[in-house]
Amino acid sequence: MSALFPVVVHDVMPEGTDCVRLRLGAKPGQGVLPRFAPGAHVDVLTPSGLVRQYSLCGDADDPGFYELCIKREAASRGGSDSLCRTVEKGMELHISPPRNAFALPAAQHYILIAGGIGITPLLSMMARLQRQGADWALYYYTRTPDQAPFRDRLRAAPYASRVHMATSLKQGYPAALSHPEADTAIMLCGPDGFMQAVSSHTIAAGWEPAQIHTEYFRPTEMTSDDDEQAFEVVLARSGRSMTVPPGQSIAGALMAAGIEVSLSCEQGMCGACVVPLLAGEGAHRDMVLTEAEQAGSIALCCSRARTPSLTLDL
């Protein structure tokens, strides 16, 4: 996990019917908060003691505060629930510096698509794109639009004309996906099934997979075909090698050998443990790397090998 630093809760506000928005600022004398780019997230040490990742949903061009939006989950294991129930104004929390595995690429046009609480990383993108005068549109699928988080912000100027809200994909996919265009980036975030449906529809419509940029809130179910075979990991900088046995992650094998590894979500979603892959073929299980990026990088917390050995730039 990344090193954490203290912040002060400046406001706790309801957002929609089932979310809480936190506004966090630096402690007095601490200086300013680290800058972040749209799409970034932070680790939060919750009052329950669990660490959770949340997208920064405030304005990336306002360095004074961070904003997080936490959904009350009925099946919460305690992390989000403890934030919603116990955090108060003036309280101190500990968070990591921002990390971004969902950055806006350079493009002429942007299609932002959110399902439910997947709206959070797209909010900071929306603000940045609007300020830059970019060509963008947001498609927000939420079960109850009138009670959705950030409803008032999205229905007000200057965003209202660019925001399209619907209750489900049964009402249709975003109209903008009907006509594939080069120089367009699609930014997609939401529940797994929603994202898979939108991605499949988009590719079937003729878009290139590389144009679809995603961020998952939880890992999709992993299959295990060749993942239970032992393989060797070679560290290029020191020449050390070690065996990764079935049932152990690369990160686990490295740490067992006394090698420090940067970890955060440990589910292939945050990108904290991604390192350069110099040789060998990875069996990638993360939700961060694109197909092109997987040729030269690998997430140590969840991925394995399709070749007898992997050489890492460590």
**CA 66, CA 229: separation in Å to the nearest integer?**
43
pLDDT in tens, 161-180: 999 999 989 889 999 999 99
Residue 212 has pLDDT above 90, yes or no: yes
Where are any strands of DSSP class E within the chain? Answer: 5-15, 19-26, 41-45, 51-55, 65-71, 92-95, 109-115, 135-141, 163-166, 184-189, 212-215, 231-235, 241-244, 274-279, 282-283, 297-299, 304-305, 309-312
Residue 76 has pLDDT above 70, yes or no: no
- What pTM value is reported for the model? 0.75
Specify whether 113 is located in the same domain as 201.
yes
102: in domain: no
Q: Which of 42, 62, 95 represents a domain boundary (last residue)?
A: 95
Percentage with pLDDT > 90 across the chain: 61
Burial state string for 34-64 with b = 16 or more CB within 10 A and e = fewer than 16: eebebbbbbbbbbbbebbbbbbbbbbbeeee
pLDDT in tens, 247-291: 788 988 898 888 888 876 677 777 788 899 999 999 888 777 777
**CA 99, CA 88: separation in Å to the nearest integer?**
25
Prior bond of 98 cis (ω within 30°)? no
Specify whether 295 is located in the same domain as 271.
yes
Residue type, 82: S
177: in domain: yes
Rg for the chain, CA atoms, rounded: 20
User: Which residue, among 48, 42, 44, 8, has the nearest Cα to 24 in the 3D structure?
Assistant: 8
Mean pLDDT, to the nearest integer, of 230-248? 91
Mean pLDDT, to the nearest integer, of 205-213? 95
User: What residue numbers bound the domain in which 247 lies?
Assistant: 225-312
104: in domain: no
Residue 70 has pLDDT above 50, yes or no: yes
Q: Which of 215, 233, 253 represents a domain boundary (last residue)?
A: 215
- If one counts the domains in the chain, the total is 3
139: in domain: yes
**CA 64, CA 260: separation in Å to the nearest integer?**
33
Mean pLDDT, to the nearest integer, of 236-254? 89
Strand order in the sheet with 212-215: 163-166, 135-141, 109-115, 184-189, 212-215
Q: Are 139 and 164 in contact (CB under 8 A)?
A: yes
pLDDT in tens, 112-130: 999 999 999 999 999 999 9
pLDDT in tens, 91-111: 999 999 998 989 999 999 999
Q: What is the CATH number of the domain that holds 268?
A: 3.10.20.30
Q: What pLDDT sits at residue 234?
A: 95
Specify whether 113 is located in the same domain as 211.
yes
Q: What pLDDT sits at residue 228?
A: 64
For residue 293, give the H/E element and its range. Answer: helix 291-294
pLDDT in tens, 9-56: 999 999 998 899 999 999 988 889 999 999 999 989 998 888 888 999
Residue 309 has pLDDT above 90, yes or no: yes
Q: What is the CATH number of the domain that holds 142?
A: 3.40.50.80
How does DSSP classify residue 266? S
Which tokens is 134 given? 């970019």
Q: Which of 35, 66, 95 represents a domain boundary (last residue)?
A: 95
